Amino acid sequence: MSIVKLNNKAVSNATAIGSISSLGSMTFIKKLTASSSATLSFVDGASGVVLDDTYKEYVFTFNNMHPQTDNIHFQFNMSTDGGSNYNVTKTTTFCRAYHDEGIEGEALEYQASRDLAQSTSAHILASDLGNANDASSAGSMSLYNPSSTTFVKHFISRTTALAADYYNYHVFTAGYGNTTSAVDAIQFTMSSGNIDAGTITLYGIN
């Protein structure tokens, strides 16, 4: 990154304005579309999916994730054996802001009951989803350096949803897969029933 050179500390007297180097780019990898799907899985090496050391950060975007079943959760899990088992041990945290359509209830809260503490269970990304025709969830999740064989596997996610009780839930979650094995597959599910509709898109960040 170049530095602006100033005379007499005045911008109007700048003798050189350097260029700013690229901050990186977002590369499309794969999109999966749900249609009454039990799972949506991204497995390294399968049908163009990349989850290796090509990128240090991978981003999943969720668009209009609609559940088949009312009042359930959108969630994910990780695999270290090419998707044979989605059972990576995780420690996570979960908080959310909410507000209802009737302007009667709002709060920002930490929900310890939805944390994981050294658990192999799926982690909730969006909670209490409604299955009304116009209900859905959207958001994104970043996964960092999944191919590392030295460090644990960190993730951060933010989602928004029209919930079963007609609240908007804005969920903030983060955590890590407590493994030094390479994570080579990610699977998304609903806590009950199928993913009725929606798309998940995977990008690599340079």
List, for residues 82-105, the tens digit of each pLDDT value: 999 999 999 999 999 999 988 778
What number of H helices and E strands is found in the chain? 0, 13
Percent of the chain whose pLDDT exceeds 70: 89
Q: How far is CA 39 from CA 57, 105, 158, in A?
A: 23, 33, 20
Domain range annotation of the chain: 23-205
pLDDT at 93: 98
Q: Look over the chain and give the mean of its residue pLDDT values, rounded to a whole number.
A: 91
Residue 162 has pLDDT above 90, yes or no: yes
Per-residue confidence (pLDDT) for residue 20, from 0 to 100: 47
Contacts of 76 (CB under 8 A, 6+ apart): 122, 123, 125, 141, 186, 187, 188, 189
With 0-12 / 13-18 / 19 or more C-beta atoms within 10 angstroms meaning exposed / middle / buried, residue 178 is middle
The domain 23-205 is placed in CATH, from the list 2.60.120, 2.60.40, 1.10.3470, 1.10.10, at 2.60.120
- Predicted confidence band at 23 (pLDDT cuts at 50, 70, 90)? low
- Better-scored residue on pLDDT, 100 or 116: 116
For 56-98, give the DSSP string.
SEEEEEEEEEEESSSSEEEEEEEESSTTS-----EEEEEEEEE
Say whether pLDDT at 3 is over 50: no
Instruction: State what percent of residues in the chain have pLDDT above 90.
Output: 83
Instruction: Report whether 49 contacts 171 (CB < 8 A).
Output: no
Q: Are 183 and 177 in contact (CB under 8 A)?
A: yes
Mean local confidence (pLDDT), 151-175 = 97
Q: What value does the mean pLDDT take over residues 172-198?
A: 98
**What pLDDT digit, counting tens, does each position of 122-147 carry?**
999 999 999 999 999 999 999 999 99
43 or 101, higher pLDDT: 43
pLDDT at res. 1: 44
